Structure 1
Amino acid sequence: MLLILLSNLIVTSFLVGLIWFVQVVHYPIFQKVGKQEFHHFHTFHTLQTGKIVILPMLLELGLSILLVWEGHGIDYMLSTDNISENMAMRMGNFYSYSFIALSLTISLWILTAWIFVPLHGKLGNEKTGYDKEKMKKLVRRNWFRTILWSFRLLFLIYMMIETTNNIYM
């Protein structure tokens, strides 16, 4: 359980660092690129960013599912009276917390697929992609993803603190 939670924390930490870099540095650079170079710049950005984020995002999703699976095992263990009432009280929230963590991951995937992939598709259009309003929209909307990922990281830290306190108390 702790290994899966720690792995979640590590992968999410990487993704949060990356999204903050993209939000504060990289996306604002889009407006600094000239119209002539923008299509090539954006194509390069999309391909290279995809290579960097796909594996960690898949890991984050898989680890989030494993966390729920582990939480289910704890929930089952609690229901079979194989542990003390005190331990049951302290571990009872883990299953609920793991669902919240998974829900945050799924929300990030939905935001990415439904908002950011289409917006990058429009920006990647060779004829109409250079659009400063679309670039500004990308930065504004990406704040939601940045904040949501940051919240997920804080939530996982909280889960780690709660879990380790419950195990070692």
Structure 2
Amino acid sequence: MELPQLLLIFWAALIFWVLGQIWLAQIVIYPLFAKVGAVDYVHYHRFYSQRIPLPVIIPGFASFLLPFALALYGPIVPLWMSSLNIAAGIVGLLITVMLEIPRHDRLEKDGKNDATISELIRYNWPRTLAISVQSVITFLMLCHVFERI
């Protein structure tokens, strides 16, 4: 197996990991934010924030940025696959930086706020869908590349 195919396999493992993470956050973790008491909220959010870099943040940002490397150095796939993968990554990155991170910062600084938690959940839907799109495209890429072997 050559480097481009190995890059695609690495990418697939990464994006499918991130897919599980984002759906867990959307369906379980973010809704649980509303269930934590106001007195313990800042401590809870800090505990959460300190533990997510390795399993969530690093793979998440990699999923936003690696589609560029995959398009340049990965196996040859139809242009629409690479383009849509990159576009979905950009959507995820913009939502994370412009909408999600500021709300997490607000919750960690100011404590529990039901409106902010609702926004966090609502604004995470487009990111969840963007990562889901990347996962479907990745599956199609795998089919395209490895059907020839």
TM-score bracket, normalised by the shorter chain, equals 0.7 to 0.9
What fraction of aligned residue pairs are identical, expressed as a percent? 26
Distance in 2 between residues matched to 1:148 and 1:59, nearest whole Å? 14
Report the Cα offset of residue 139 of structure 1.
1.1
Structure 1 spans left out of the alignment, 5+ residues: 75-90
Q: Are 1:4 and 1:63, in contact at CA under 8 Å, matched by a contact in 2?
A: no
Task: Spell out, residue by residue over 1:106-154, the C-alpha distance to the aligned partner (whole angstroms, 9 max, x if none).
Answer: 22111111110001111112xx331111111111111111111111101
Aligned pairs for 1:61-100 (under 5 A) are: 61=64, 63-70=66-73, 74=76, 93=78, 95-100=79-84
* Equivalent residue, structure 2, for 1:85: none
Match of 1:36, SS state, is coil
* Equivalent residue, structure 2, for 1:123: 107
Superposition RMSD in Å:
2.0
Alignment partner of 1:132 is 2:145: no
Aligned pairs for 1:149-160 (under 5 A) are: 149-160=131-142
Over alpha carbons, which structure has the higher Rg? 1
* Equivalent residue, structure 2, for 1:79: none
* Equivalent residue, structure 2, for 1:17: 20
Report the Cα offset of residue 62 of structure 1.
5.4
Aligned pairs for 1:16-55 (under 5 A) are: 16-55=19-58
The answer to which of 107-116 and 42-51 deviates more is 42-51
Corresponding letter in the other structure for 2:36: V
Q: Are 1:27 and 1:138, in contact at CA under 8 Å, matched by a contact in 2?
A: yes
Match of 2:34, SS state, is helix
The answer to which of 42-51 and 108-117 deviates more is 42-51
Where do 4+ consecutive residues of structure 1 move more than 6 Å?
none
Q: Are 1:7 and 1:63, in contact at CA under 8 Å, matched by a contact in 2?
A: no
Report the Cα offset of residue 55 of structure 1.
2.8
Alignment partner of 1:108 is 2:92: yes
Task: Spell out, residue by residue over 1:61-113, the C-alpha distance to the aligned partner (whole angstroms, 9 max, x if none).
Answer: 55422211136x85xxxxxxxxxxxxxxxx6x2x4422321222222111111
Distance in 2 between residues matched to 1:67 and 1:96, nearest whole Å? 13
* Equivalent residue, structure 1, for 2:126: 144
Q: Are 2:65 and 2:89, in contact at CA under 8 Å, matched by a contact in 1?
A: no
**Cα separation, partners in 2 of 1:4 and 1:138, compared to 1, 3 Å:** same
Structure 2 spans left out of the alignment, 5+ residues: none
Distance in 1 between residues matched to 2:62 and 2:6, nearest whole Å? 14
* Equivalent residue, structure 2, for 1:2: 5
